[in-house]
Amino acid sequence: MKIPYRHSKLLWSYLFVAPTMLMFAVFIGLPLVTSVLLAFQQNVLGEAVWVGLDNFRRLFADYVFSIALKNTALYTLAVVTQNVLIALVAATLIQSLSRRWQSFFRSAFYLPIVTSTVIISMVFRWMFHPQHGLFNLILMSLGREPIFWLADPDLALWSIILSEVLTAPGTSIVLFCAALDRVPKTLYEAADIDGASGFRKWWSITLPLLKPSLLYVLVMNTIGTFQVFSRVHVMTGGGPGYATTTLVQLIYNTAFRDFNFGFASAQALFLFVIIATISLLQFKFLSTDVEY
Amino acid sequence: MTERVVRTAAYILLFLWACFTLFPLYWLLTTALSPREAVLAMPPSLVPGEITMVNFRRLFRQAPILTWIRNSAVTSVAITAWHVLFDTAAGYAFAKRQFPGRNFLFWLLIASMMIPEQVTLVPVFMMLDRFGLIDKLQAVILPGMAATFGVFLMRQYIQTLPSELEEAARIDGCSELGIFTRIILPLCKPALGVLAIFTFVANWNQFMWPLIVLNSRHRFTLQVGLQTLQSEFLTDYGLLMAGASISALPTIVLFLFFQRYFISGLTLGGIKG
């Protein structure tokens, strides 16, 4: 029997999306459902008992969880704020240069991004080394006391934040540059005729028109930074004590060191809720209908 | 006059900041190429005095680095090949074809991009464990094929292609599969480059998931292997940095050759306006 043309066309449409939808169902859709079920179980290495809301009750009473939450919030706030500000300033400066230099600087700032976080973190661990690391050698040559960058519980988290600050926010810079390119030049010409100063032009023309990109960069940065893991895992492993334990590091430890799958799922769902809430708030307060 | 001052200040600031941000990469290479005495010398010298390959030789002797490179290459290439082929097929269907359920399925994929990876870690681990795939490269490859970013990227791109070619081919009697392989795929070349490069780099650099599912030394990918060397060769930073530079090299070379793809990929995947 020959399949009618209309049906074969429809069949091909489904065949085109089938591989993608299959992988999605097996590795994202189904696990998502399982994860919600797991959160209500006491599940150690696959031995499951239903425990209702126990995991969540334990979560809110857990001392380590509250430390991890605080560390992650502080880390995200510091890193995202400085990333967005630096990217904004850098993109504005880059925009004033000639085409050739624009692409040179964009590339220079993007290069550390294509290098894996593991590598960047290993280099910083080396530079933070108490006896032989570059940072302490510079301090000592200036006659200062060496600092225990990653071993001092009061400092360790800030040292990791410092390593983020010293790595340029390449992705955000490139996105801002692209957005600045799209601002119509006639707006600036009009402002010139009105005798507006350089800063005034930036503040009243550039910044408002950049708002959609700003929102996008802010949300993406927040979501990404909230899930920080590699940097912490490579530099300190979450220590000393719990000084640099972040939420994802904690989920990792709960699931794959203690094999407490149920509790880890509750932690992960909580992380999801926090991230979704922050993104929604950012959208609500910053979304705009500026068109140009 | 003031314009020139501002511009010069911009150059100087950007140049200094670029030096700062590129310094870790420079220091990585300097340490890797310096003999041990120089690495631990006091005071350290910022330019390498004597260049040597001794760290690399020691690294190759003491760690199965070639196996790790192979594992990283196999997983990244397999995942990239899958995405290039099937993200384009799905992106084409979502962009140009009409079928019941299209919008719902696409919405599912987009919504899933909001879910942090950590939520599915445990269930996926348990599932792979049940099929005996833990500590096999398939445990990295299979979940890597489920990323939905590429479908979104390809749909955005294919939407900008004119539909006339497709219609003309159909009138000429071209099969539905033929329209995809002979019309759509060739037109997608620029976007495919972007997709391939992004997918490869992301998976080459991937760390957390391989760390979870690979346990034996000879199964590690490069990123996981290097991280374990840290606890093995505590302060032997020459050796560690030699390993790190081997891992950084492919992505840096890719970037230097295909910069334009990286930049356009970011803006294509981003939002309009």
* C-beta atoms of B21 and A261 within 8 A: no
Tallying the residues shown for chain B, one arrives at 273
* C-beta atoms of A123 and B241 within 8 A: yes
* C-beta atoms of A115 and B205 within 8 A: yes
A100-106 average pLDDT score: 85
Query: Based on the domain organization, do A171 and A142 belong to the same domain?
Result: yes
Does domain B56-269 fall under CATH 1.10.3720.10? My reply is yes
For residue A196, what is the domain's CATH number? 1.10.3720.10
For testing the chain A interface, which of B19, B21, B131 should be mutated: the one with the most A CBs within 10 Å?
B21
Distance from CA of B234 to the nearest CA of A (A): 10
A267 is in which domain, residue-wise?
56-286
* C-beta atoms of B273 and A212 within 8 A: yes
* C-beta atoms of A20 and B248 within 8 A: no
Residue of chain A whose Cα is closest to the Cα of B104: A21
Q: How do strand A41-44 and strand A47-50 relate by DSSP bridges?
A: antiparallel
Q: Which of B24, B121, B208 sits opposite A123 (nearest CB)?
A: B24
State the pLDDT at residue A292: 45
Query: Which residues does B126 contact at the CB level (< 8 Å), separation at least 6?
Result: A34, A46, A261
User: Looking at the domain assignment, is residue A178 inside a domain?
Assistant: yes
Residue of chain A whose Cα is closest to the Cα of B205: A116
A243-249 average pLDDT score: 92
For testing the chain B interface, which of A72, A97, A116, A274 should be mutated: the one with the most B CBs within 10 Å?
A116
Q: Which of B120, B145, B263 sits opposite A31 (nearest CB)?
A: B120
User: To the nearest whole number, what is the mean pLDDT of chain A?
Assistant: 86
**Tokens of residue B52, six digits:** 């040597």
Query: Based on the domain organization, do A110 and A175 belong to the same domain?
Result: yes
Q: Which of B17, B27, B151 sits opposite A20 (nearest CB)?
A: B151
Q: Which of B6, B116, B212 sits opposite A256 (nearest CB)?
A: B212
User: Looking at the domain assignment, is residue A292 inside a domain?
Assistant: no
| Domain count of the fold of chain A | 2
* C-beta atoms of A268 and B7 within 8 A: no
User: Looking at the domain assignment, is residue A227 inside a domain?
Assistant: yes
Map tokens 């066309």 to a residue.
A9
Query: Based on the domain organization, do A203 and A279 belong to the same domain?
Result: yes
Name which residue leads in pLDDT, A113 or A284: A113
State the pLDDT at residue A288: 60
Residue of chain A whose Cα is closest to the Cα of B96: A13
**Tokens of residue B262, six digits:** 């990286």
Query: Based on the domain organization, do A27 and A100 belong to the same domain?
Result: no
For testing the chain B interface, which of A17, A117, A263 should be mutated: the one with the most B CBs within 10 Å?
A17
User: Looking at the domain assignment, is residue A291 inside a domain?
Assistant: no
In whole angstroms, what is the distance from residue A27 CA to residue B219 CA? 22
Query: Based on the domain organization, do A146 and A204 belong to the same domain?
Result: yes
Distance from CA of B201 to the nearest CA of A (A): 7
Own/partner pairs, B254-262, CB within 8 angstroms, 24+ separation: B254/A114, B254/B197, B254/B200, B254/B201, B255/A107, B255/A110, B255/A111, B255/A114, B255/B201, B258/B193, B258/B197, B259/A103, B259/A107, B259/A110, B261/B193, B261/B194, B261/B197, B262/A110, B262/A114, B262/B194, B262/B197, B262/B198
Residue of chain B whose Cα is closest to the Cα of A37: B123
- Residues of chain B in contact with residue A111, where contact means CB-CB under 8 angstroms, are 22, 25, 252, 255
Element (H, E) at A47: strand A47-50
* C-beta atoms of A46 and B126 within 8 A: yes
Upstream peptide bond of A4 is cis (omega within 30 degrees of 0): no
- Residues of chain A in contact with residue B6, where contact means CB-CB under 8 angstroms, are 96, 198
State the pLDDT at residue A58: 85
Residue of chain B whose Cα is closest to the Cα of A132: B40
Query: Based on the domain organization, do A176 and A161 belong to the same domain?
Result: yes
In whole angstroms, what is the distance from residue B225 CA to residue A126 CA? 17
* C-beta atoms of B90 and A182 within 8 A: no
State the pLDDT at residue A278: 86
* C-beta atoms of B122 and A255 within 8 A: yes
Q: Which of B21, B118, B226 sits opposite A122 (nearest CB)?
A: B226
Residue of chain B whose Cα is closest to the Cα of A181: B273
Query: Which residues does A53 contact at the CB level (< 8 Å), separation at least 6?
Result: A40
Cα A40 to the center of its chain, rounded Å: 28
Distance from CA of A65 to the nearest CA of B (A): 16
Query: Based on the domain organization, do A227 and A143 belong to the same domain?
Result: yes
A271-291 average pLDDT score: 78
Q: Of A50, A65, A86, which residue sits at a domain end?
A: A50
For residue A171, the one-letter residue type is T
- Residues of chain B in contact with residue A214, where contact means CB-CB under 8 angstroms, are none
Parse chain B into domains and list their residue ranges: 1-52, 56-269
Query: Based on the domain organization, do A39 and A175 belong to the same domain?
Result: no
**Tokens of residue A206, six digits:** 């550039």
Q: Identify whether the C-beta of residue A133 lies closer than 8 Å to the C-beta of residue B241.
A: no
Distance from CA of A89 to the nearest CA of B (A): 10
Can you list the residues of chain B whose pLDDT is less than 50? Answer: 271-273
State the pLDDT at residue B68: 93
Query: Based on the domain organization, do A128 and A237 belong to the same domain?
Result: yes
* C-beta atoms of B24 and A168 within 8 A: no
- Residues of chain A in contact with residue B108, where contact means CB-CB under 8 angstroms, are 24, 29
Q: Which of A17, A30, A114 sits opposite B252 (nearest CB)?
A: A114
Query: Based on the domain organization, do A40 and A184 belong to the same domain?
Result: no
Query: Based on the domain organization, do A120 and A155 belong to the same domain?
Result: yes
Query: Based on the domain organization, do A162 and A104 belong to the same domain?
Result: yes
